[in-house]
Homo-oligomer: A and B are copies of this chain.
Amino acid sequence: MTEIQPIDRTRVVRAPNRAVFNRQTVYAILDDGLLCYLSFVADGSPHIIPTLHWREGDSLYIHGLTASRAIHSSSDGSEVCVMVSHLDGLVLARSAFHHSVNYRSVAIYGSPAIVADDRKEAALRAMVERITPGRWAELRPVNDQELKAPTVLELPINEASAKVRTSAPIDDPEDMDWPVWAGNVPFEMVRGVPVPDSAMDPAIKLPEYLRTR
């Protein structure tokens, strides 16, 4: 896959050695997250909305009811910044100064388009299928009224950059013998045991897509 060309906005100023413009890395970070943070300007103020995202090819899709309204009714324009990030761990060094965090994050800039009505059902199906493969066909089919409500935003992944830190603590050489525990404390988002709705027929088994991670 190609590299994404850095432009001024995505050029990483702080810790540029952690910047990644490789599409494969950027896409893996996006695909590994359920939740994105969408920021936009309305009435001169910055706003953030957390929402669900998914990717198809070189586009990021965003489930964006509230955001769509705010963005497209704003006189400040429809430009957004979308962030997907994973906190992978705390990095505990011998000095406070060298404490850090292991993480993977992607920022994407651009002006999202609203997915047209004739493509909306396919987009929502893709969202459901990415999280729970096979579920769409099991559901009570969507009707026209329901399809009107949600808005889906499509943002081409052109202006994007990733930042990644994965290593052990990096202390000053003279601190290496300081008698304190140093190392990495990993964090992970894990799926717990699914809880069936109390109103559900208990004969319905847990589907395959909820048995594996």
A66 to B103 Cα, complex, angstroms: 16
Query: What sequence of 0s and 1s flags, for each residue 162-196 of chain A, a beta carbon within 8 Å of any chain B beta carbon?
Result: 00000011000001111111111111111111111
What does DSSP make chain A's interface, helix, strand, loop or mixed?
A: mixed
Nearest Cβ distance between residue A60 and chain B, in whole angstroms?
A: 14
Q: Can you tell how many copies of this chain the complex includes? A: 2
* Residue among A175, A184, A198 with the highest chain B CB neighbour number at 10 A: A184
**Contact (Cβ within 8 A) A183 B195:** yes
Residue A94 is within 8 A (CB to CB) of chain B in the complex: yes
**A side interface size, CB within 8 A:** 89
State the CA gap A105–B48 with chains docked (Å). Answer: 11
- B-contacting residues of A (Cβ < 8 Å)? 9, 13-14, 34-35, 37, 39-41, 44-48, 50, 52, 65-66, 69, 76-77, 79-83, 85, 87, 89-90, 92, 94-97, 99, 101, 103, 105, 107, 109, 124-125, 128, 131-132, 135-136, 138-140, 142, 146, 149-150, 168-169, 175-201, 204-207, 210
Other than the given A39-B48, A50-B105, 9 more pairs (CB < 8 A) read A13-B69, A37-B39, A41-B45, A96-B146, A139-B178, A181-B205, A183-B196, A184-B194, A185-B210
